[in-house]
């Protein structure tokens, strides 16, 4: 299947594909169950110790508990605001926007930094498409509308040359609400409490 084709089943009755342009990038708004296209890279919201993306199923191991604890103590946390790249098809970009040792676990500055890093990585790899959740809204309390402002600003700063399509992965039932926020000429809310 070509990357331009819709990989999923037809959309349910009453749903329509929703999209909007920001500069040269065509944004699609859809839940993960209804992908508008196969993305070159998938972004995941992550924390400094990669707990959020960890497999919840405990794996059997032959190592002794003492060996596992020694390895765990050697683990260095990822830097908040950074992106960890995991090769694969599609490419996986882990957006480190949470530090679970802090309250709140996120800061707006980390989300800004991560968005900039994602767009730089997309440019460096000449990616044509990305799937991106609304960072900070999944495991944090960032307002959706504020994330959309941050995304718009990041796209304007980066002026992507290769990125043509960005799929905003939204919770089911929120597609039209998010699309309305994107199209709204109204002012957006000020930075949230987790701003850093």
Domain of 84: which CATH number? 3.40.220.10
**Predicted pLDDT of residue 106:** 94
Question: Is there a domain that residue 145 lies in?
Answer: yes
Q: Cα–Cα distance between 99 and 96 in angstroms, integer?
A: 8
Question: Is there a domain that residue 169 lies in?
Answer: yes
pLDDT, the chain, mean: 84
For a pLDDT cut of 90, what percent of the chain falls above it?
Answer: 61
| Confidence band of 163 (pLDDT split at 50, 70, 90) | very high
Domains held by the chain: number: 1
Q: Does 192 have pLDDT greater than 60?
A: no
Spell out the residues 6+ positions from residue 12 whose beta carbon is closer than 8 angstroms to its own. 34
Over residues 137-157, the pLDDT tens digits come to 988 999 999 999 999 999 999
Residue 39, domain extent: 20-53+70-183
Within 10 Å of residue 77's Cβ, how many Cβ atoms?
A: 13
**Predicted pLDDT of residue 97:** 96
Q: Does 193 have pLDDT greater than 60?
A: no
Provide mean pLDDT across the span 99-122. Answer: 96
Global pTM reads 0.80
Question: Is there a domain that residue 117 lies in?
Answer: yes
Q: How far apart are the first and last CA of the chain?
A: 43
Question: Is there a domain that residue 14 lies in?
Answer: no
Q: Does 25 have pLDDT greater than 60?
A: yes
**Predicted pLDDT of residue 115:** 98
| Confidence band of 75 (pLDDT split at 50, 70, 90) | confident
Assess contact for 118 and 97: CB atoms under 8 A.
Answer: no
113: left (phi over 0), alpha (psi -120 to 50) or beta: alpha
Question: Is there a domain that residue 125 lies in?
Answer: yes
**Predicted pLDDT of residue 186:** 47
Question: Is there a domain that residue 192 lies in?
Answer: no
Question: Is there a domain that residue 159 lies in?
Answer: yes
Question: Is there a domain that residue 5 lies in?
Answer: no
């Amino acid at each position: 299947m070509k990357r331009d084709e819709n990989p999923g089943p037809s959309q349910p009755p009453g749903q329509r594909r929703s999209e909007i342009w920001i500069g040269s990038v065509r944004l699609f708004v859809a839940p993960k169950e209804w992908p508008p296209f196969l993305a070159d890279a998938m972004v995941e919201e992550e924390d400094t110790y990669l707990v959020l993306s960890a497999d919840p199923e405990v794996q059997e191991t032959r190592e002794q508990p003492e060996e596992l604890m020694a390895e765990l103590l050697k683990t260095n946390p990822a830097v908040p605001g950074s992106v960890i790249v995991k090769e694969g098809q599609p490419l996986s970009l882990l957006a480190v926007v949470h530090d679970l040792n802090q309250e709140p676990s996120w800061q707006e500055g980390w989300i800004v930094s991560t968005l900039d890093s994602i767009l730089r990585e997309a440019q460096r790899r000449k990616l044509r498409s990305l799937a991106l959740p609304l960072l900070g809204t999944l495991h944090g309390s960032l307002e959706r509308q504020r994330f959309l402002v941050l995304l718009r600003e990041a796209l304007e700063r980066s002026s992507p040359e290769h990125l043509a399509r960005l799929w905003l992965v939204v919770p089911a039932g929120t597609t039209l609400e998010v699309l309305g926020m994107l199209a709204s000429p109204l002012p957006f809310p000020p930075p949230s409490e987790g701003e850093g």
